[in-house]
Amino acid sequence: MPAMCWLSLRSGLPSCTLVCVTALRRWEPTRPLHQRVRKRHNVHDRASIAGAQRAMGRRLQADRWLAAHVDIAREASYNTMLESRLRTASELFGRHLTMSEFRFSVSQLLQEPTGATRRYELDDPQLVVDETLRMHPVKGHVRLTRTPKGVLADADVHGNVDLECGRCLTLYAQPVAFDFSEEFYQTVVVNTGAKLPPPDEEDAFLIDETHKLDLAVAMREYLLLNLPPAPRCKEDCKGLCSICGANLNDGPHTHEPEATDERLAGLSKLLGQSEQ
């Protein structure tokens, strides 16, 4: 028996009624236009959501990197901020400022003809040579002149250096003044970045690859050459007592004569006669 007739007998309904019901279940009316447009919009929305998810993933990845390298990121941000402030100060004051008062940017000077000059005043709290030697404060001036091979630095520097007196062993401020004229050789072409051949001199002063001239390198060498060979806190320094080691510059200093042992009196006489 066909399935339709069997269902008709079980339900008590005519078979034509079941056919109509089945047809109604299979028939779907055409969806309105706004629903079809919404479907297309949903496709675009899904694409936008996927793009947003990818962007969020990249943001999370950047946040994870920042959390793992927070110190590096903070230092890079600080350096960027500092360089920006230095560029602003350079534009305001017409000077190529750098992170150190003894390092000068000569990129513009290297692009000018031979003979072009720059003049700067030196005014810094200190120049550190090593852990035990420093110059403070540092005063003076420097003139930078463009040469065919680099930049000629003519500097006049003066300040104080803390030294130990060779007689009384006390620390004192030793005035030091020196001047020098040294050429710093260019190592990289400013416009192209091409490296230049090294100079013939082995110990020549160089301009680094970022076109910075570090005057402190030459200043340290000339400072060491101009230190006194026998430091003295003053010309009439009395030094230390040979008996007790007291500083004789602090005031009058005497010692009671030492008592002589009677058992060694005869030996003392013999020594006195031999010296005569």
Helix or strand run (H / E) with residue 91: helix 70-93
* Whether residue 78 is found in the same domain as residue 169: no
Encoded amino acid at 271, one letter: L
The span from the CA of 169 to the CA of 165, in Å, is 5
- Given a cut of 50, whether residue 115 has pLDDT beyond it is yes
Structure-token pair, residue 125: 């709290």
* Whether residue 62 is found in the same domain as residue 145: no
The span from the CA of 171 to the CA of 165, in Å, is 6
Average pLDDT value over all residues in the chain: 75
Looking at the chain, the whole-number percentage of residues with pLDDT higher than 90 is 46
Look up tokens 């992170």; give the residue.
99
- Segment 222-232, tens digit of pLDDT: 999 999 999 99
* Whether residue 158 is found in the same domain as residue 83: no
In a domain, 12, yes or no: no
Angle, vertex CA 134, rays to CA 129 and CA 138, nearest 5: 105
* Whether residue 192 is found in the same domain as residue 212: yes
Last residue of a domain, one of 195, 225, 255: 225
CB neighbours of 14 closer than 8 A, spacing ≥ 6?
A: 8
Count of domains observed in the chain? 3
- Segment 50-96, tens digit of pLDDT: 666 666 766 666 666 555 554 444 444 444 544 554 454 444 434 33
Range of the structural domain that residue 206 is part of: 103-225
* Whether residue 156 is found in the same domain as residue 211: yes
- Segment 2-36, tens digit of pLDDT: 444 444 444 454 544 444 444 444 444 555 544 54
